[in-house]
Amino acid sequence: MSRIIGLVDCDSFFASCEKVFRPDWANRPLVVLSNNDGCVVARSPEAKALGIPMGEPYFKIKSFANSRGVVVRSGNYELYGDMSRRVIQTLSQWTPSVDVYSIDEAFLDLTGRFVDSKGNFRGIEDDPMDGKSLGDIPRQTREELEKLAAEITRIVEKWTGIPVSMGLGPTRTLAKAASRIAKDSAAATGKKYALLFSRRERAQALANLPIEKVWGIGRRLSKTLALGKIETALDFARLDPRRVREDFSIVQEKTLRELRGELMFDVSTPEPQKSLRVSRSFADPISNLEELEKPVANFAAKVAEKLRARKIVAAGLQVAIATSHFNEKVPRRNVAAAANFSKPTNSTPEILSVALRLLRGLFASGYDYKRAGVTALATTDEEFARSQGYLFEPDPTRPQEIRERDRKLCSAMDKINSGFGRDALFFAAQGAAKPQFANASFVSPCYTTDWNSLPVAR
């Protein structure tokens, strides 16, 4: 039986987050800048209409932006992360099978909403789907699905303020293609969703989809395919799957089969996260080890907090420090080091200890460090680690009573910081005065995560 897979994609997500709490910016062009206010990383539809390119350095568009009334914002990833969480929480009311693909995209498996007690699509007896293709659905199911898609896109925007587009198909790859169609055709159709189930609609859509826009293909592979006159998704779907596997890889073969309607990437079993990184550039270079320890300690604490929030543990940790990439007048240094934990962990004290030990081994005087980062390596689900016995094996380097103490301490800190604001409690190694990171001259308040930044009605 076919599956019903949806992809919900937030429209111009970073720009949309910035506009939620500023209705006076609703129709104004807006751009979001990268760390250190360097380049354009997000654009509202109005900014795209002005022709502002993605990735363009801010200094090149500054005069143009000022003359056209463009709102310029520094990246506020704390705000974007929390708004993403709200969107995902809203989506979970329609299905428990929500796979967060990125900060602004999530796959949904909606099949269970449209089958009867026997596991068949409702209405299939009245609609035998004569001449049906692989991945097709009955007419009644399709009508119900269109109503649900309209409801999802409407309610997500109403409840969160974030406009979304939705693509639906029998596979992830087709759902992704459908979401692109929904975005491109919304102005003409008035609908924020598109479906790709029947053979005819799939063929028409894939014939108009450039091969480089297919999920999983990419620019480099598309150039190779173009040499063989494979220029559209439909051209690719018509290739011999076995030949594609031999010439490229099993991933490309699966992509081809998904374009044909065969489910190869299962939405109900999301791939586990493999690593987690926190890094920032500093407002001013740091040449002193004691001063460098504070931001690294903050990054390590943030990594541990994120691991616990996602219920995963890390088997190792990497610390990296670097001087400026752009200042050629000073000595350059870009180094990293990693270490394994004796047992997978998400404990802040343990992660802090290892991070600072690695930093002290990396540090060399005579350099102005401009950036640092901490990465949790080989992350795995906490429950899986427990089932494998990783969390119960004896560890002579860190007794079980110490681990249990750390667990309770971290749990208490998470609850307190959740209720009273970020860093209401913190470790001494993080420093009382928070590090000054790279320039963010246009940063918006953290409206949803900081009590002091709550919007004020006037």
Domain count for the chain:
3
Answering whether pTM is above 0.85, one says no
For residues 253 and 242, give the distance between their C-alpha atoms in angstroms, rounded to a whole number: 7
The helix or strand, by DSSP H or E, that contains position 193, with its residue range, turns out to be strand 193-195
141 backbone φψ class: left, alpha, beta (φ>0; ψ -120 to 50): alpha
Mean pLDDT for the chain overall: 88
Amino acid 403: pLDDT: 86
- The residue-averaged pLDDT of 422-435 equals 82
Nearest to 44 by CA among 58, 55, 30, 33: 30
For residues 240 and 258, give the distance between their C-alpha atoms in angstroms, rounded to a whole number: 13
Q: Is the pLDDT reported for residue 429 higher than 70? A: yes
Q: Is residue 394 situated within a structural domain?
A: yes
Nearest to 279 by CA among 373, 409, 383, 210: 373
How many helices, marked H, and strands, marked E, lie in the chain? 15, 12
> Could you tell me if 243 and 164 lie in one domain?
yes
For residues 16 and 26, give the distance between their C-alpha atoms in angstroms, rounded to a whole number: 9
- The CATH number covering residue 27 comes to 3.40.1170.60
Nearest to 33 by CA among 445, 438, 457, 446: 438
> Could you tell me if 65 and 91 lie in one domain?
no
190 backbone φψ class: left, alpha, beta (φ>0; ψ -120 to 50): left
Residue 16 in 3-state DSSP?
helix
- The residue-averaged pLDDT of 374-398 equals 74
Angle (CA) 68-74-76 rounded to 5° is: 135
> Could you tell me if 35 and 102 lie in one domain?
no
Q: Is residue 407 situated within a structural domain?
A: yes
Amino acid 281: pLDDT: 82
Percent of the chain with pLDDT over 70: 92
4, 6, 248, 268, 437 from 172: Cα distances, Å: 9, 7, 20, 11, 39
For residues 366 and 386, give the distance between their C-alpha atoms in angstroms, rounded to a whole number: 45
Domain's final residue, options 34, 53, 75? 75
Q: Is the pLDDT reported for residue 271 higher than 80? A: no
Amino acid 26: pLDDT: 93
> Could you tell me if 287 and 253 lie in one domain?
no
385 is written with which tokens? 């680690």
Amino acid 83: pLDDT: 94
Q: Find the Cα–Cα–Cα–Cα dihedral 189, 194, 196, 199, rounded to 10°.
A: -10
Q: Is residue 250 situated within a structural domain?
A: yes
More confident call, 37 vs 273 = 37
Q: Is residue 451 situated within a structural domain?
A: no
More confident call, 352 vs 220 = 352
- The CATH number covering residue 305 comes to 3.30.1490.100
> How would you label 314-346 residue by residue, b for 16+ Cβ within 10 Å and e otherwise?
bbbbbbbbbbbeeeeeeeeeeeeeeeebebbbb
The answer to whether the CB of 206 falls within 8 A of the CB of 237 is: yes
Nearest to 20 by CA among 176, 158, 175, 215: 158
Residue 396 banded pLDDT, cuts 50, 70, 90: low
> Could you tell me if 127 and 46 lie in one domain?
no
> Could you tell me if 324 and 351 lie in one domain?
yes
Amino acid 388: pLDDT: 62
Amino acid 399: pLDDT: 78
Residue type for position 220: R
Q: Is residue 171 situated within a structural domain?
A: yes
251 is written with which tokens? 């991933």
202 is written with which tokens? 């799939």
Nearest to 253 by CA among 243, 238, 261: 243
Domain's final residue, options 21, 56, 75? 75
Amino acid 288: pLDDT: 93
Enter the DSSP assignment of 53.
P
> Could you tell me if 186 and 249 lie in one domain?
yes
Domain's final residue, options 230, 259, 288? 259
334-345 and 98-102 strand pairing: unpaired
Q: Is the pLDDT reported for residue 436 higher than 70? A: no
> Could you tell me if 35 and 180 lie in one domain?
no
312-323 and 369-381 strand pairing: antiparallel
More confident call, 232 vs 392 = 232
Q: Is residue 265 situated within a structural domain?
A: no
The answer to whether the CB of 295 falls within 8 A of the CB of 308 is: no
- The residue-averaged pLDDT of 343-353 equals 93
- The residue-averaged pLDDT of 225-254 equals 91
Amino acid 6: pLDDT: 96
> Could you tell me if 17 and 100 lie in one domain?
no
For residues 365 and 372, give the distance between their C-alpha atoms in angstroms, rounded to a whole number: 15
Q: What does the pLDDT look like over 210-227, one tens digit per residue?
A: 999 898 888 888 889 988
More confident call, 444 vs 421 = 444
Q: What does the pLDDT look like over 107-149, one tens digit per residue?
A: 999 998 988 877 788 766 665 555 567 778 888 899 999 999 9
276-286 and 369-381 strand pairing: antiparallel
The answer to whether the CB of 211 falls within 8 A of the CB of 217 is: yes
> Could you tell me if 182 and 215 lie in one domain?
yes
For residues 22 and 373, give the distance between their C-alpha atoms in angstroms, rounded to a whole number: 32
Q: What does the pLDDT look like over 288-339, one tens digit per residue?
A: 999 999 999 999 999 999 999 989 999 999 999 999 877 777 888 999 999 9
> Could you tell me if 218 and 294 lie in one domain?
no
Least reliable range by pLDDT among 30-39, 238-247, 266-275: 266-275
Amino acid 452: pLDDT: 81
Q: What does the pLDDT look like over 172-219, one tens digit per residue?
A: 999 999 999 999 888 888 899 999 998 899 999 999 999 998 988 888
Q: What does the pLDDT look like over 35-76, one tens digit per residue?
A: 778 899 999 999 999 999 999 999 999 999 999 999 999 989
Q: Is residue 443 situated within a structural domain?
A: no
The helix or strand, by DSSP H or E, that contains position 204, with its residue range, turns out to be helix 199-207
> Could you tell me if 89 and 165 lie in one domain?
yes
6, 33, 294, 317 from 323: Cα distances, Å: 44, 21, 17, 21
Nearest to 156 by CA among 72, 98, 214, 112: 98
- The CATH number covering residue 176 comes to 3.30.70.270
Amino acid 401: pLDDT: 84
Full domain range(s) for residue 56: 13-75
Q: Is residue 246 situated within a structural domain?
A: yes
7 backbone φψ class: left, alpha, beta (φ>0; ψ -120 to 50): beta
Amino acid 385: pLDDT: 75
